Structure formats: C-alpha cells, structure tokens
Structure 1
Amino acid sequence: MEAPITSPPTLKYNATPKRKPILGKRYIMIYNVFQALGSIICTLQVFAFLEILHVVLGIVKSSLAPTLAQVLGRNHVLLVGLLYCPTVQFHWGVPLMVFFWGISELIRFPYYIAQAYNECPPFLTWLRYNAFIVLYPIGFAAENILWYEMLPIMLEDRIHFLDMPNWFNFSFNYYYFALIWITLTFLLFPKQYLYMFSLRKKKQQQALAEAEDMSRSAKKTK
C-alpha cells in the first residue's frame, strides 16, 4: 500500500525588510544633498573671481592680497583638486569644508549688502568680526586634509602632469607644484588670520569712538 502524498511544509519568513538605522538615513540624506549641490558650488566658486575684480576696481573696500589668496585657494582645492579625484569626493572633509565655507559667506555677503544701505544690524557686525575666529581655521584645516588625501592619487595617476616630449618642449610636475602651493598657504595663513584680527580691532575702536561721541552729544543736549 502506497504512503499518502503529503505537501511539503511551508516555510514561514518575515517579509518585512530590515529598517535602516536612523543615523544611516540621515548620513545618506546629507551626502546626497552635498552631491546635488556639487555643480552649484563649483559654479559659485568660479564667479568668486569677480571678487578680485571688485577690489581692483574699488567697488568693494578690501585689500587685494587677502581676497586673492582666498579666491585662488578655494578654487584650487575645488576645481583643480577635487574635480579630478573622484574617490576623495566621498571623504568626510568635503562636507566639512563646504559647510564652513558656506557659513562664512552667509555672514560676509549679507554684511556687505547691509553696509551698502547703511543699515547693518549689530548682531551681523558682531558675526562678521568674530565668527572668523572659528570658521577660518576649521575651513583651512579641512582643505589641507583633502590635499593630504589627493596628493598620492595625483602622483600615481599623474594628474595635471606635462611630460616630454611635447609641442612646448617643457615638462611640468604638478605634484611638486602642489607641495609648494600647500607650503605657501601654511606660511601665509597666519598673516591672513592676523589681518582679520586687525580689522576686528579697528572695528572695535571705531564702535568705541562712536559710542563716546554719542555719549558726549547726549550730555550736551541735557
């Protein structure tokens, strides 16, 4: 007598997919935002060259050397470095650098606009002459962290190298050029940082003088 045919046991499983950690979701969201803003940031940095022209033409009252150093430094690390090192674009130093760049510009440009209309609120003036104490060093550190990551890649892939023979009869080793550039930025950064402190001191003295004038005029009217 044949044994009765039985159906195979059904396997029970949980069809509900595993939920990703909240921290992981937030990281992915922030990462995607910075990736989407990449082209916008690069475009805005190109337009930053206009700042040099504004200083030369006297449209903006500022020193040429610090403006030149900031514009060239940022465009160099972004347009000459990061654009040619895709793997470094995933480094945590990129959002750190862009974040502190952005905060500094969100303070600086509204301050310039308010100054043009002679209606600058005190808190914006305070931010303009105090926030740089934290923003500049961290932004500068983030730039050099990225250079540390990019230099070996540039040397291995010979990015921006010009080898002989060529039509110009000239060879160029970008790796050594970048090392010289980074060394110069380290040497010039303290000077630029102290320059901002000198502007801060001048602004404080100006505010103190204005307060004394107001106090004198108030006493005269009594």
Structure 2
Amino acid sequence: MALPAWLQPRYRKNTYLFIYYLIQFCGHSWIFTNMTVRFFSFGEDSMVDTFYAIGLVMRLCQSISLLELLHIYVGIEPSHLFPRFLQLTERIIILFVVITSQEEVQEKYVVCVLFIFWNLLDMVRYTYSMLSVVGISYTVLTWLSQTLWMPVYPLCVLAEGMYYTYSHLYSERRDVLGVFPFKKKKM
C-alpha cells in the first residue's frame, strides 16, 4: 500500500514545517485577534489585563518557538542560527523572567504594545514561511515579510527598554520599602 504524497519521505520535512508554521500562525493570530477585540470592546481598560488574558498562550507560543533553533541546527529550516538565537533568548528572558516574575509591571500598557509588535511580526513571518514551504509566493506578503521588521524592531527595542525601566523602578521601590517594614501593632 502506497503512502499518501504528503507522508512520503521527501515531503515529510515540508509537511512538518507546514504544520509547525500553521500552529504558530494560529497561536499568534489568536493572541492578536483577542487583543484587538478586547481593545475595541473594553477600550484602554483592556490593556491593563492583557497579560492575564493572553499570557498563557503567549508563553506557549514562545516556548514552542524554541524548536526553531533545533530546526536551524538540524538543517530543516534555512536560516541563520545566531540572530534567531538572540531574538528568541531576548523574548524568553523578557516574557518568562521579567514580565512573569513582576506582577506590578504586568499591568502596564507597554506589555500590550510589546505583545502587539511581537505578534504582528510573527503573524507575517509564519504566514510567509508556511506558504513558502508549499511553494506559494505572494509579492505583497514577501515584501511585507522582508520589510515589516525594519520599522517594528526598533519600536520593539524601545518598548522593551521602557519595560526594563518600569521593571527596574518597581524593583527599586520594593527594595526601599522592604528596608523599613511596617509592623502591625498588637492590641
């Protein structure tokens, strides 16, 4: 019995990459759509609890994206390892170490802005990669994939810098207030 075309050895890599890109695209588009709908429904109030609403899915998508380092290392994805490693390391540190660990800063608008930028970039990148694997090419999507990062990456760096500043200020405030603990009087 012959295997279907998409399961034959020469197509397994493309099938795997297509499914991987599709899962990532669905995750990031769900996050982006959820943030957009929440913003139009609740206005600026939705930005305050962005992390509580979509943080789990964002952490899941970023965790799965660590597979890309393996893809590049093994050779099934044609890309450069070091730039991708830096980008993923930066996102993992910001998301898991900085944002998740400080509840005071999770409510800042900069988290919402940062998530919008990350998801916008990833939605375009994963759509382009997914269609490229199956041999479909759209000029506008190719152009967008190659040029969108130019204005958005500096904005991401700015948002990340603002987030680090907020995080540092809150940790300093916590340290200063921790030096002089207030004790309740016993009655």
Using structure 2 for the length normalisation, give the TM-score.
Answer: 0.67
Is 1:101 the equivalent of 2:110?
A: no
Within a 5 Å distance, the mapping from 1:73-92 to structure 2 comes to 73-92=90-109
Within a 5 Å distance, the mapping from 1:4-19 to structure 2 comes to none
Displacement of 1:124 in angstroms is: 0.5
Aligned letter for 1:77? I
Instruction: Choose which of 54, 62, 66 in structure 1 pairs with 2:79.
Output: 62
Match of 1:133 in 2: 150
Displacement of 1:29 in angstroms is: 3.8
In structure 2, relative to structure 1, the CA distance for the partners of 1:120 and 1:141 (3 Å cut) is same
Is 1:41 the equivalent of 2:69?
A: no
Match of 1:168 in 2: none
Q: Quote the Cα distance in structure 1 between the aligned partners of 2:95 and 2:70.
A: 20
Within a 5 Å distance, the mapping from 1:151-166 to structure 2 comes to 151-154=168-171
Instruction: Choose which of 52, 62, 71 in structure 1 pairs with 2:88.
Output: 71
Seq. identity, %:
24
Match of 1:26 in 2: 43
Q: Quote the Cα distance in structure 1 between the aligned partners of 2:118 and 2:95.
A: 12
Unaligned runs of 5+ in 1: 1-22, 159-222
In structure 2, relative to structure 1, the CA distance for the partners of 1:126 and 1:24 (3 Å cut) is closer
Displacement of 1:46 in angstroms is: 1.2
Q: Larger C-alpha radius of gyration, 1 or 2?
A: 1
| 3-state secondary structure, aligned to 1:140 | helix
Higher relative contact order (CA 8 A, sep 6+): 2
Deviation digits for residues 137-184 of structure 1 (CA, Å, limit 9, x no counterpart): 1111111110111124445657xxxxxxxxxxxxxxxxxxxxxxxxxx
> Once superposed, what is the RMSD of the aligned Cα atoms?
2.1
In the comparison of the two structures, how many residue pairs are matched?
Answer: 136
Displacement of 1:32 in angstroms is: 4.5
Q: Quote the Cα distance in structure 2 between the aligned partners of 1:90 and 1:31.
A: 5
Match of 2:32 in 1: none
Q: Normalized per residue, which structure has more helix?
A: 2
| 3-state secondary structure, aligned to 1:84 | coil
Match of 1:177 in 2: none
Unaligned runs of 5+ in 2: 1-39, 176-187
Displacement of 1:28 in angstroms is: 2.2
